[in-house]
A and B are shown apart, each in its own frame.
Chain A
């Protein structure tokens, strides 16, 4: 009986895993090239974020990506989590303007010319509690106008919103090539085999020595791509380290409980099983 149980459990488990694996793999089976696999500091059971890479990645984001892409779910106060001091985070915040959540009433006139009050949300210098203002000041139409019809997505969740997200973003950033001969490109588009349809409105964004890293790391395009992906993964999943830490505790604790319960259970059943023999 036990053998039957173990065997069926094992076969059920493998077939379950196979089906899950297949169901996940089908998404990658689109026309675009499968992303390159990178060994990230944050992947796997013991993953943590490489602090230096996070800060370098933020620099790349700020100096390169931020021209078009927002990270609207990140607050300036969150920057202290990637190693900036509160003063540094505040200095970064003060470079931005945001719509104040504090409104005031302004005297105005209604349509008939009678005095009226209007709620005004002033645009103020951003502070620690504010979020990155994204491109919310502009309408979607304005953004598309300025980007050749394309809408640069917000990057807060990009590494979770794409299949094999970190690998995908890295591959995309480093995957620009000349279009194969015979391929008709839409004007203004660039060829990138990792992008669905292979034609992307974003021009190759990363060039060697585009930024100057404070820690002396050589700013190759590959290095910058890896750094910014690390930063973006943190932006999408800021609690990853906390989650892993708690995970170890829970797993160890539950393992102890389960083993104790196994023996406790065996003890309880000892007399019944004995009679059976």
Chain B
């Protein structure tokens, strides 16, 4: 806003400088207030601490499975039988909606570790423990009838993709860290 102009030329520039400097510093101050207000919505330290979890597999018997929660998502850990592994490998050459080999989907063939989230609309598929586990002996999503095989690959039904594999690694023979 124009104020009364100073007749002294030097005065004008000095005055402008002080206004610009004050305004600039004020703008930076106001802008730096925004970051804490934004960052507070990012995952908090206790949430981040659970971003990766350690799971001890030693208590899971052959043919058994557990479900663990990781980042708010259920994870299936299935100790597959030799028959299941063989069935999964045999189907590598079948016609698959979302082609993948069983070898690509596991790190150790006996441990099938994947997200228990149907790729159709997010329901939790049921496995052998749920009674009916689909036409392919793997998992079956009761919401809209998607059938997954023993490698968690989609074989029949509306789901578009195979069950997702979370990032994990074996830190010991029977201990994995997910995330």
Q: Do chains A and B directly touch (beta carbons under 8 Å) in the complex? A: yes
Residues of A within 8 A of B54 (CB): 127
C-alpha gap A256/B18 in the complex (Å)? 12
Tell me if A233 counts as interface (CB < 8 A to partner B). Answer: no
Name the residue of chain A whose CB is nearest to the CB of B5. Answer: A271
Q: Which among A155-163, A192-200, A258-266 touches the partner chain?
A: A258-266
Task: Specify which of B22, B29, B66 lies most central, judged by the most chain A CB atoms within 10 Å of its CB.
Answer: B22
User: Are A253 and B15 in contact (CB-based, < 8 A)?
Assistant: no
Tell me if A117 counts as interface (CB < 8 A to partner B). Answer: no
Residues of B within 8 A of A128 (CB): 49
Tell me if B93 counts as interface (CB < 8 A to partner A). Answer: no
C-alpha gap A7/B115 in the complex (Å)? 71
Choose among A75, A104, A257, A271 the residue that contacts B49 (Cβ–Cβ < 8 A): A75
User: Are B18 and A260 in contact (CB-based, < 8 A)?
Assistant: yes
Choose among A77, A102, A253, A271 the residue that contacts B25 (Cβ–Cβ < 8 A): A253
Chain B residues packing against A (C-beta within 8 Å): 3-4, 6, 15, 18-19, 21-22, 25-26, 28-29, 45-46, 49-50, 54, 66, 68-69
User: Are B3 and A271 in contact (CB-based, < 8 A)?
Assistant: yes
Output the least CB separation between B150 and chain A (Å). 23
C-alpha gap A158/B7 in the complex (Å)? 65
User: Are A75 and B3 in contact (CB-based, < 8 A)?
Assistant: no
Residues of B within 8 A of A254 (CB): 29
Output the least CB separation between B70 and chain A (Å). 10
19 more A-B residue pairs beyond the given contacts A253-B28, A260-B21, with a C-beta to C-beta distance below 8 A: A75-B46, A77-B49, A104-B66, A127-B54, A129-B46, A129-B50, A253-B29, A256-B25, A257-B22, A257-B29, A260-B22, A260-B25, A261-B22, A263-B18, A264-B18, A267-B19, A268-B3, A270-B6, A271-B4
The majority secondary structure among interface residues of chain A is helix
Output the least CB separation between B147 and chain A (Å). 25
Choose among A104, A127, A261, A267 the residue that contacts B15 (Cβ–Cβ < 8 A): A267
Residues of B within 8 A of A271 (CB): 3-4, 6
Output the least CB separation between B48 and chain A (Å). 9
Choose among B18, B26, B29, B68 the residue that contacts A102 (Cβ–Cβ < 8 A): B68
Q: Flag A50-79 by CB within 8 Å of B: 1 or 0 each.
A: 000000000000000000000000010100
The majority secondary structure among interface residues of chain B is helix
Task: Give me 18 A-to-B residue pairs in the complex whose CB atoms sit less than 8 angstroms apart, sorted by A's number.
Answer: A102-B68, A102-B69, A104-B66, A127-B54, A128-B49, A129-B49, A253-B25, A253-B29, A254-B29, A256-B25, A260-B21, A264-B19, A264-B22, A267-B15, A267-B18, A270-B6, A271-B3, A271-B6
Task: Specify which of B4, B18, B66 lies most central, judged by the most chain A CB atoms within 10 Å of its CB.
Answer: B18
Output the least CB separation between B101 and chain A (Å). 32
Chain A residues packing against B (C-beta within 8 Å): 75, 77, 102, 104, 127-129, 253-254, 256-257, 260-261, 263-264, 267-268, 270-271
8 smallest CB-CB distances across A and B, nearest first, come from: A129-B49, A260-B22, A264-B22, A271-B4, A257-B25, A267-B15, A264-B18, A261-B22
Residues of B within 8 A of A77 (CB): 45, 49
Residues of A within 8 A of B49 (CB): 75, 77, 128-129
On whether A257 and B50 interact (CB within 8 A), knowing A264-B18, A268-B3, A271-B3, the answer reads no
Name the residue of chain B whose CB is nearest to the CB of A261. Answer: B22
Output the least CB separation between B138 and chain A (Å). 21
Output the least CB separation between B149 and chain A (Å). 26
Output the least CB separation between B126 and chain A (Å). 13
C-alpha gap A102/B72 in the complex (Å)? 11
Residues of A within 8 A of B6 (CB): 270-271
Name the residue of chain A whose CB is nearest to the CB of B21. Answer: A260
Output the least CB separation between A156 and chain B (Å). 14
C-alpha gap A256/B28 in the complex (Å)? 12
Output the least CB separation between B172 and chain A (Å). 14
Output the least CB separation between B142 and chain A (Å). 17
Output the least CB separation between A254 and chain B (Å). 7
Residues of B within 8 A of A257 (CB): 22, 25-26, 29
Name the residue of chain A whose CB is nearest to the CB of B14. Answer: A267
Residues of A within 8 A of B26 (CB): 257, 261
Output the least CB separation between A207 and chain B (Å). 37
Residues of B within 8 A of A102 (CB): 68-69
Output the least CB separation between A80 and chain B (Å). 11
